[in-house]
Amino acid sequence: MNRLPRLFLTAMLLASPAVGATDVSMMDGAIRFAVPDQWVPIMQSAGEKETQVFQVPGASATDATLARVTVTAQKVPNLNGFQQFAGNLRSHATSLTEYAPAKASSPTENVYTAKEGTVKLQYFERYFYSDGYAIQLRCIRPADDARFGATFDKGCAEVAARMPS
């Protein structure tokens, strides 16, 4: 193979955002994003509201069981429908055991802690509105594992950056 085409192909592979990521499609292909390859799909639902759930392997067995990312999408008629979608999900969060709000960095975020069983969890939710779809990205991890938390949060931020908006 000629050196120039080989260099071009290598450069294209390295520049590709899909390297190390799994492509996900929801709502009959209207919503597409990528998640890290290490995330394990554990649940998927289809219908008027679609959900994809990924287990995120962690530093311990507890992290691997509890750390997960959920993407929920629903077709909405307009921006008011998006606000209702986000409001309903935010309202549900306040009913969780030992719900405690934290500081969000934008109006499209919801950050809080709550308990699941005996484990305190950190929740990060981000809401997107794209082409008539309301989307929630919800990242849940144990609150007390700083090293794992940094890696988990980085992966969650990368997925948020890939969400349509």
The answer to whether the CB of 123 falls within 8 A of the CB of 138 is yes
Question: In sequence order, what DSSP letters do the residues of 78-126 get, joined into one string?
Answer: SHHHHHHHHHHHHHHHHTSTT-EE---SSTTEEEEEEEETTEEEEEEEE
pLDDT tens sequence across 60-89: 656 556 899 999 999 999 999 999 999 999
Q: For residues 86 and 95, what is the distance between their CA atoms, to the nearest angstrom?
A: 15
83 occurs within a structural domain: yes
pLDDT tens sequence across 82-108: 999 999 999 999 999 999 999 999 999
Range of 127's domain? Answer: 22-162
CATH of the domain at 91: 3.40.1000.10
